[in-house]
Amino acid sequence: MSRLKAVLLLIPLLLAVALTWHVQAWRYGRELAQREQAHVEARRQQAEASTRQLLGERQQRRVLEQQIELNDNSHYQELLDAQQAQARLRDRLATADLRLSALLASDSNPNRSMPATPGAGGVDHGPVRARLDPAHARRIIAITDAGDAGLIALRACQGYVRALAR
């Protein structure tokens, strides 16, 4: 009988242990599912934040590209205008329609004196000018053309750097 009593006492104890084990497994499973759900939600929020950031950066890049393109177009147009103006100036020099002259310093010829009587074409009291040789004029125009192109390119580079710095 004592064995029977021991077995009868052991069965409810084993049932209680099994039931407790099962309840704990159920609670642990529920906790793991909640943690999994929280992890999935956190990852989704991170993905959405990354997507928003990426879209914002893309938009900023598009705006920057448009600004740079607009800046490039305006500087290119400015360069074309300067080249056309230089070409017209070279053409006018070539056809003798235009002559370049240089101002002479007032003390460049100290021995020169005012004529006693004004001549028919000598009533101009402005500064004295010397006309340049056409070959020299063409060289001067070429130098200023290169200088203008350099300044326009410099402004384009400065605009590009300013656009990137924003």
Task: Dump pLDDT digits (tens) for 13-71.
Answer: 899 999 999 999 999 999 999 999 999 999 999 999 999 999 999 999 999 999 989 98
C-alpha span between 12 and 18 (Å, rounded): 10
- What is the pLDDT at residue 116? 47
Q: Does 32 reside within a domain?
A: no
- Euclidean distance between the first and the last CA atom of the chain, given in angstroms as a whole number: 93
Q: Does 72 reside within a domain?
A: yes
At residue 73, does pLDDT exceed 90? yes
Q: Does 110 reside within a domain?
A: no
Q: Does 116 reside within a domain?
A: no
**Boundaries of domain holding 92:** 59-103+129-166
Global pTM reads 0.52
- What is the pLDDT at residue 149? 86
- Supply 60's token pair: 């900023």
* Count of domains for the chain: 1
Q: Does 78 reside within a domain?
A: yes
Alpha helices in the chain (DSSP H): 2-94, 134-165
Q: Does 44 reside within a domain?
A: no
Q: Does 155 reside within a domain?
A: yes
- What is the pLDDT at residue 93? 77
pLDDT in tens, 79-115: 899 889 888 888 887 777 777 777 777 655 555 555 5
Helix 2-94 to helix 134-165 angle (10° resolution) is 160
At residue 124, does pLDDT exceed 70? no
- What is the pLDDT at residue 55? 96
